[in-house]
Amino acid sequence: MRNFREHLILQGSPIKEALMMLDKLAADAILFVVDSDNKLIGSLTDGDVRRGLIKGVTIEQAVDDVIQENPKYISKGKQNIEQIITYREKNYKVLPVVDAQHKIVNIVNFRNMRSYLPIDAVIMAGGKGTRLRPLTEKVPKPLLKVGELPIMEHNLNRLALYGIDDFWISVNYLGEQIEAYFGNGHAANLSINYLWETKPLGTIGAAAQIDNFNHEYVLLTNSDILTNLDYEHFFLDFIHQEADMSVVTIPYKVDVPYAVLETSNGHILNLKEKPTYTYYSNGGIYLLKKSAFHHIPKNAFFNTTDLMEKLINENQKVISYPMSGYWLDIGKHEDFEKAQKDITQIKF
């Protein structure tokens, strides 16, 4: 992925410099003019330069003379998914992301991204992966390779595809390897922070350390899940249903080979001939409002199911999002072997 800073040019720079930068950007040829504080001033394309030259502007003059003022942009931290979808449908390809001070902090490129979701992502990667030993004796499970990439890199890439760029990774067992591999994420236009567990804190307990989420919505996921989940649809369903927590659930159908009788006090009320029942299991991927994290105790063992029960008991809206695509929890050796086969066939 291109570093977003390749799209930035300082106001006052000569048009000739802009032309060389636009040439390097090729199909992504648009620049965003910024001041010395990285604040967005305007945009510049080949067409803007061409129109300026026709009017008599020279390539030695400053880009300020040919820029488009008031360009379209995306505001970071706001729930603006409808606007983003509109931009995408109107065929805007490259858009700057600005913070509250109007400074450019990222670039959305719909040629290689599907969305820009207003979400922080928490990835739980502190487990020991004991069921996958001896593979995990010297390598943490999130760094075991599925195909050419570590399991967790597939997760990060999928989330980044939907514009999620603020990450919190919970680490413990061999966590220094995970931190060394992914670093701070800046080279991939991401921000990665690490939550160190000095003791096991369950499947969500480490997240109690976070007090500076960048968005009002948080996605929590286990690090060992391989999936092609449509995160935008997941988010839109969450918003539409006005949920406090949404749980990706995995449907399991059970075919009963006999007639099933429904009875009460010995009386047969109904008869179902060889029925099929569908049950839903926890898929280990969740969407929550930021406020839900206030229920997590500090420095205490706490599972996501504990939070789920707490929210339900407080009459908050906890919903199911049935998974319709590919999903695999890589917990055992047979799962790991299946992932190696599936990665070459499943469209991610």
Residues 7-33: tens digit of each pLDDT: 999 999 999 999 999 999 988 899 999
Region 143-148: mean pLDDT is 91
Quick: pLDDT tens for 73-85. Answer: 999 988 889 999 9
pLDDT at residue number 80: 85
- Whether 268 has a pLDDT exceeding 90, the answer reads no
Report pLDDT for 187. Answer: 85
pTM for this model (two decimals): 0.87
97-132 confidence digits (pLDDT tens): 999 999 999 999 999 899 999 999 999 988 887 888
Mean residue pLDDT across the chain: 90
> Are 104 and 38 spatial neighbours (Cβ–Cβ below 8 Å)?
yes
- CA distances, 59 to each of 9, 22, 52 (Å): 15, 13, 9
Strand ranges in 151-190 using DSSP code E only, listed in sequence order: 166-171
Full set of structural domains in the chain with CATH: 4-76+102-108 (3.10.580.10), 119-252+281-342 (3.90.550.10)
Which residue has better confidence, 241 or 79? 241
CA–CA separation, 311 and 318 (whole Å):
7
Per the model's pLDDT, the better-predicted residue between 237 and 136 turns out to be: 237
Q: How confident is the model over 149-204, as pLDDT tens digits?
A: 999 999 999 999 999 999 999 998 898 999 999 999 988 889 999 999 888 888 89
User: Over 80: is that where the pLDDT of 275 sits?
Assistant: no
pLDDT over 90 for what percent of the chain? 64
Taking alpha carbons only, the member of 137, 135, 147 closest to residue 333 is: 135
pLDDT over 70 at 1, yes or no = no
Question: What residues are paired with 16 via a beta bridge?
Answer: none
| Sequence-separated (6 or more) residues with CB below 8 Å from residue 156 | 123, 167, 182, 188, 190
Rg value, the chain, Cα: 24
